[in-house]
Structure 1
Amino acid sequence: MDFQLRQATPDDAEAVVRMHTQAHQESYAGLLPAEFFAGRRRSMPERTEQRRPYLASPDPRLLAFDADGELVGLADAGPGRQPGWQHRLELYSLYTLQRTHGSGLGPALLQAAVGAGPAYLWTLAENHRAQALYAKHGFIADGGRKFLSPEWLGLPEIRMVRSAD
């Protein structure tokens, strides 16, 4: 599968929210109830408007398009948001549609967003597929844990860190 990566713009907000919503459902269907995803679909117009200014950032806000021009992946990164970790690069998110799994898109987005240097990320404790991808690229769980908001049913996340080589 061939993909084209590019920096997102505010004009991409609707496509980003639509793809992100689909990726959430594909990735987390076993962890969250159907009503959660129905709520996410209902909130798409509001989330699209909230996303526009975020996509105007010079920080990596990367989109991946397939040969048909369909948005099939995204990744974003920037300064660490965790207190005491502002000096580190944080991978905020990386999502690909299920039909691209195993194609190399995930690693390509990871490389484009954070390169090969030191970085950290948070991933759902039950997202073993993502953890395997990150581990393959030098990230290790360091014992950091937190819980998502009640909207996300307080699902637990773990921190994974990649040190300098």
Structure 2
Amino acid sequence: MVHVREMGAADIEAVSTIRVRGWQAAYAGVVPQTYLNAMTVEGDASQRRHWFSQPGRKTRDLVALGERGPVGWICFGPCRSEMSGLGRVGEVYALYISPDLIGRGIGRILLGEAHAQMKGQDFEASVLWVLGDNQRAQRFYERAGYHADGGAQDDIYDGITLTEFRYRRVW
């Protein structure tokens, strides 16, 4: 069983490990391997320390704690793009679980807590972005009440263009 709490500065290394290993597991065969191989926990932790120390940041970070410490992480906050006609919209920026624990409900618990906190901040809906070839994540978010809403954007990884699709859930 896990419990969720606010992420602290002491969690940065563990969260960076979860994120980097999560990328390397989830996106193998989707994102160029050269990009995945170049990811390091140290580099990610350095960036995360910088972001985490920003005064007035509007993002929230939660960790799921298991027997071995942090085993999952979610980051969310206000939507980064205009979503006209929906009122206040939140966004899930990232959700990663230790790859060896995927499928045990940890992601569902973290997402549920993020939804509860977004509702508590008077957000009326939530959006997130999923790589087009990440069918596992698409199924996960669809089971959580999200649906593709037609939004799309391209990202470039080591010269390869990959499309992300926007998913939305209205409370």
Same fold (TM over 0.5): yes
Task: Specify the alignment match of 1:90 in structure 2.
Answer: 91
Task: Specify the alignment match of 2:27 in structure 1.
Answer: 28
Task: Specify the alignment match of 2:66 in structure 1.
Answer: 66
- Which residue identity is paired with 2:135? H
Q: Secondary structure at the match of 1:155?
A: strand
**1:73 positional shift:** 1.1
- Which residue identity is paired with 1:102? G
Unaligned runs of 5+ in 1: none
Q: How does 1:5-44 map to 2 (within 5 A)?
A: 5-41=4-40, 44=41
Task: Specify the alignment match of 2:125 in structure 1.
Answer: 118
Q: Secondary structure at the match of 1:102?
A: coil
Task: Specify the alignment match of 1:80 in structure 2.
Answer: 79
Q: Secondary structure at the match of 1:154?
A: strand
* Sequence identity percentage: 30
Structure 1 residues 152 and 160 mapped into 2: Cα distance closer, same or farther (>3 Å)?
A: farther
Task: Specify the alignment match of 1:55 in structure 2.
Answer: 52
Task: Specify the alignment match of 2:110 in structure 1.
Answer: 109
Q: Secondary structure at the match of 1:148?
A: strand
Task: Specify the alignment match of 2:138 in structure 1.
Answer: 131
Q: Please state which structure has a larger fraction of its residues in strand.
A: 2
Q: How large is the RMSD of aligned CA atoms in angstroms?
A: 2.2
| Whole-angstrom CA distance in 2 between matches of 1:65 and 1:156 | 32
Unaligned runs of 5+ in 2: none
- Which residue identity is paired with 1:123? V
1:123–1:159 CA contact under 8 A, matched in 2: yes
2:83–2:89 CA contact under 8 A, matched in 1: no
Question: Could you list the per-position Cα deviations for residues 96-152 of structure 1 after superposition, in whole angstroms to 9, with x for gaps in the alignment?
Answer: 122222211111010111237521111111111111111112111011000123458
2:77–2:90 CA contact under 8 A, matched in 1: yes
**1:93 positional shift:** 0.9
**1:84 positional shift:** 4.3
Aligned residue pairs total 160
2:74–2:94 CA contact under 8 A, matched in 1: yes
2:129–2:167 CA contact under 8 A, matched in 1: yes
**With structure 2 as the length reference, what TM-score do the two structures score?**
0.82
